[in-house]
A and B are shown apart, each in its own frame.
Chain A
């Protein structure tokens, strides 16, 4: 059986949880088995996961699980997986998923692949799955040889599909060890989709000249409903917060649309963004390397082009 760990934030499912269940359902079909989901801690709307393909939702409602400790989560997830007879466990490739998947793999003696971005194939008994490697510069196909398998799913690799029925929820008891990591505070930027989950991203670089000019970027992002990002020197000099830094040493993203403004397109920057579905580059220098990785390019002064684009987006939004 395939077991999906469905991640919640403040008791609600994130889009990545629906992606994971959709992916798990399709994986279960390929393997000719069922897909169940597992939810830890206080949460609501569990039966909804059935719509995305879970035939059953296991729930360990222990409030101690409202705070995350990878060691505790790994113990509980492994126990439920064992009881349920699951041999494929799937996580989202989120901060939480990344630090738990490897632990669960180690406990279950499972082969694991992190950050997968396509459905597995099974040929002649060989289970293979693909992920991005070399910071987005290539893909690798992995073969998982063990019976037990652990995967983490890269965000935005599959669209959630809700076509089924709500699923029965089964409360299960599991031993919850005492947490050794104390969570004092969680600070999240509210109201904005975090970069790893964002479908639309507006990003700017050193061509902006200084932090005081960022209002035109924020306005464009606002109109589009996009999340903002930046190049590394911009974060390093403190023009923008470091969590906006994308690239090889920042975060890797794969939105549907990446708009790069005043960014030259150095290979280390591209490493974090070149898996974006569509790339728009706005740069005054036609020779900027970013144009080679772009689908659409605008050669011009960003201080003129960006406000114009914002106006055009406003008009589009008003009409659609």
Chain B
């Protein structure tokens, strides 16, 4: 099976979120970047497991500048066979989806994997856009994926439960927690990654139809109001009369 995994770069989960240039841009100074956890832990690992069981290849793709190659190399160290980087600074989900679609349309991948969302912009948008551009079915938030020939049996998260689905290749799928278990790259993987092919391709023209113009931090919480642990009636009263939530 020929598999593609879309990987993005996100600030590390404990990164301090701040903005510059009059709150128009994310302040990346001092921020550590990681591979988006859904892409690395679940999408990539499940793709590798399928390839190990049935043969084929796993390609990872990232739309991003040269600085993203550290993350791309990590994907190769975890076990991907080859990588593609589309040399551009992504501004919107639409732009990213257009670039990946352009590359994927002539490659005939059996399955295209993504994460359920990127933990910075929390869009869940690239997957459905890419699927539409490729004219393929899309299953989002998958927690289980088993292949039987070209037929996939999938369990996916829906609001308040699970859906059991079936679809034939080719298709696009986004990964949620449960799809696989995180893998830590070992020394051999890291050494081998250095020799694996990383192809850089130039972007196609695509418009940014929706862009961020301004950021804002949530208002600071005031000091916590401490309630006597013996007096839970007081807490209930405050929730009713002051916070008005019950």
Measured CB to CB, the residues of A under 8 A from B are 69-71, 74, 94-96, 98-103, 105-107, 109-115, 128, 130-146, 149, 180-189, 192-197, 199-200, 224, 242-243, 245, 248-250, 252, 256-257, 267-268, 271, 274-275, 277-278, 280-281, 291-301, 304-305, 308-309, 311-313, 315-316, 320
Contact B224 A106 (CB under 8 A): no
What residue of chain B has the Cβ atom nearest to residue A69's Cβ? B137
Q: Does B19 contact A (CB under 8 A)?
A: yes
CB <8 Å contact, A112 and B235: no
B160 at the interface (CB under 8 A from A): yes
The yes or no answer to B189 lying at the interface (CB within 8 A) is no
Residue-wise, chain B 71-101 has the 8 Å CB interface mask toward A (1 for contact) of 0000000000000000000001110010000
Q: Is B131 an interface residue (CB 8 A)?
A: yes
Per the bound structure, the CA–CA distance linking A308 and B227 in Å amounts to 13
Rounded to whole Å, the gap between the CB of B82 and the closest CB of chain A is: 27
Select A95's contact among B38, B131, B141, B215, beta carbons within 8 Å. B141
Are B138 and A112 touching (Cβ within 8 A)? no
Which 8 residue pairs of A and B lie closest in terms of their CB atoms, listed nearest first? Answer: A194-B160, A111-B209, A102-B128, A300-B229, A188-B161, A111-B210, A106-B132, A312-B232
Bound-state Cα–Cα, A297 to B226, Å: 5
- Among B94, B139, B165, B246, max chain A CB count under 10 A is at B246
What residues of chain A lie closer than 8 Å to B131, measured between beta carbons? 70-71, 103
Instruction: For the complex, give the distance between the alpha carbons of A58 and B158 in Å.
Output: 25
Query: Are A296 and B227 also in contact (CB < 8 A) when A70-B131, A135-B122 are?
Result: yes
Of A133, A199, A245, A300, the residue contacting B120 (CB under 8 A) is: A133
Confirm or deny: B51 has a beta carbon within 8 angstroms of a beta carbon on chain A: no
Q: Determine whether the beta carbon of B221 is less than 8 Å from that of A102.
A: no
Q: A249-B37, A297-B224 known; A186 and B94 CB under 8 Å?
A: no
Contact B13 A312 (CB under 8 A): no
> Is A305 a contact of B229 with CB atoms below 8 Å?
yes
CB distance from B214 to the nearest CB of A (A): 4
- Evaluate contact between B94 and A105: CB separation under 8 angstroms: yes
Could you say which residues of chain B place their CB within 8 Å of the CB of A224? 246
Tell me how many residues of B have a C-beta within 8 Å of chain A.
78
A139: nearest residue on chain B (CB-CB)? Answer: B216
Nearest Cβ distance between residue A51 and chain B, in whole angstroms? Answer: 23
Question: Which of B124, B160, B226, B232 interacts with A189 by CB under 8 Å?
Answer: B160
B43 CB to closest chain A CB (Å) equals 13
Please count the residue pairs between chain A and chain B whose beta carbons lie under 8 angstroms apart in the complex: 280
CB distance from B151 to the nearest CB of A (A): 10
B11's nearest neighbour on chain A, judged by CB, is A134
Question: B178 contacts which of A112, A143, A188, A242 (Cβ < 8 Å)?
Answer: A242
Cβ-based interface call for B204 (8 A): no
Given A98-B128, A309-B236, answer yes or no on A144-B209 (Cβ-Cβ < 8 Å): yes
Closest to A111 in B: B209
Give me 27 A-to-B residue pairs in the complex whose CB atoms sit less than 8 angstroms apart, sorted by A's number. Answer: A96-B158, A98-B124, A98-B128, A103-B131, A107-B132, A111-B209, A134-B119, A135-B119, A141-B214, A142-B213, A143-B210, A143-B213, A181-B137, A181-B165, A184-B166, A186-B158, A200-B245, A249-B119, A252-B122, A256-B245, A257-B245, A277-B245, A294-B221, A297-B224, A304-B229, A309-B232, A316-B236
Q: A135-B119, A189-B160 are in contact. Are A257 and B138 (CB under 8 A)?
A: no
B160's partner among A130, A195, A292 (CB-CB below 8 A) is A195
Taken together as a complex, chains A and B put the C-alpha atoms of A249 and B50 apart, in Å, by 23
Q: Which residues of B contact A (CB under 8 A)?
A: 11, 13-14, 17, 19, 37-38, 92-94, 97, 119-129, 131-133, 136-141, 143, 156-168, 171, 177-178, 207-218, 221-222, 224-227, 229-230, 232-233, 235-236, 238-240, 243, 245-246
For residue B239, which residues in chain A have a CB less than 8 angstroms away from its CB? 257, 278, 280, 296
CA distance A103 to B161 in the complex (A): 23
Beta-carbon contact of B243 and A278 below 8 Å: yes
Q: With the chains together, A146 CA to B210 CA distance in Å?
A: 8
Do A297 and B227 touch (CB < 8 A)?
yes
Contact partners of A94 in chain B: CB under 8 A: 159
Q: With the chains together, A102 CA to B140 CA distance in Å?
A: 12
- Whether A248 lies near B13 (C-beta < 8 A) is yes
User: Is the Cβ of B138 less than 8 Å from the Cβ of A114?
Assistant: no
Q: B210 near A142 (CB under 8 angstroms)?
A: yes
- Do residues B177 and A249 form an inter-chain contact, with CB atoms below 8 A? yes
Residues in A with CB closer than 8 Å to B208 are 145
- Which chain A residues lie closer than 8 Å to B141 at the CB level? 95
Contact A180 B168 (CB under 8 A): yes
Q: Which single member of B123, B139, B212 contacts A114 (CB below 8 Å)?
A: B123
Do A185 and B233 touch (CB < 8 A)?
no
Most B CB within 10 A of own CB, among A74, A105, A149: A105
Residue among A113, A145, A194 with most chain B CB within 10 A? A113
